[in-house]
Chains A and B, each alone.
Chain A
């Protein structure tokens, strides 16, 4: 199954880069294979959707900020439906880009080749406003755990 593991986020904005770090750790743990592409990106919405086209399975790792029960370092395994539930996409156009859910709905509407399987690992963050290359301790501790979860997902 043609798979993409994509770490999302900004690597110089403290915890926002958690997805990028997990992608790096996944890359280090796996022998290079043609079937699994491991990459990072600091994009959302349309550009992210375009990046997913042509893959059968996609695993995204991203930062999640400001959830109702804030617990930095907490890990959530989500599907697109979960994202839809927390995303206000259906009700609002964003000021700058559309959300991933809208972008994927758009792609579906246009019959683009979307992945059959989309899994999102979201890590709750503590700080995404300070420029720093190091994540906060709680988020740093989550990195090996999420890495294991992604590897298990790839095995399964």
Chain B
């Protein structure tokens, strides 16, 4: 009996604790209220703590030279005029350390978007816990310094004063970037379905965009983290499609990535060496990540093929700075023009009822022969 007790007790204790540990891995907790408020909705939001972290990044040496931030804008100038004096704050030093260690630590911002201000304090918003990649990049650990920075620099007053600018830009974004149409288009062409889209926007965000998704309590939501263009000018057709491309190629990761996972075995044969396809300039250093980048961008071609006139489609494709066949090889995805053309050919020739997901095996066969 004593021996049995000795053996069982630690197992039981460890079991309880591991269950709690497992619950930590779930990065979201959708309440019934949250589900009722957001089912079927696209939320366009500029979270305050998320913006605070963007301001802090603007003060770092990395933020001053890297394309992580949009710098040549009136808003960036206003930010620097107000906050540059606090560039020696320890939070700025800590965030610079994070970014210098790994550029993907920029995703720490997504953790910040899960928090909100309560007076001078920053409190957890209750839904999302963590998406940051690096274990040292948890916003929770930076929160006390962030509270101090916000207090000493007058961030909340500044953010309030910028609200008219933000509201105008958010409204214009909603009008000019047809996310609801993208949602409808994607869900008739891929098997995955989502109940809600959350678009996190910042007037400071630059070239590094990301996404994730969460499922639970019978509810699925995707979150996109993309830049908010200023509302000063009306975009041209190409600029407007480029804005759509920025968010679309994040949204469709939530549809494409699960398919790539499903076809992982076939992919290892089709893409024997990912370096033949990708020079790894942006850190997509695996077969899986390379395939997802090729596919998400090529699917955008299919989307604009379906939703623009032939003239508009041709104009965008031919554009020297925004056309995907120019843009993607510049990012290191050197076989993209051929890949893009092949997917479009298969899409045009698809049988009735065939979805983009159904074209995956044919694309993998084509890749294996390259």
A binds B: no
Residues on B lying within 8 angstroms of A by beta carbon are none
Residues on A lying within 8 angstroms of B by beta carbon are none
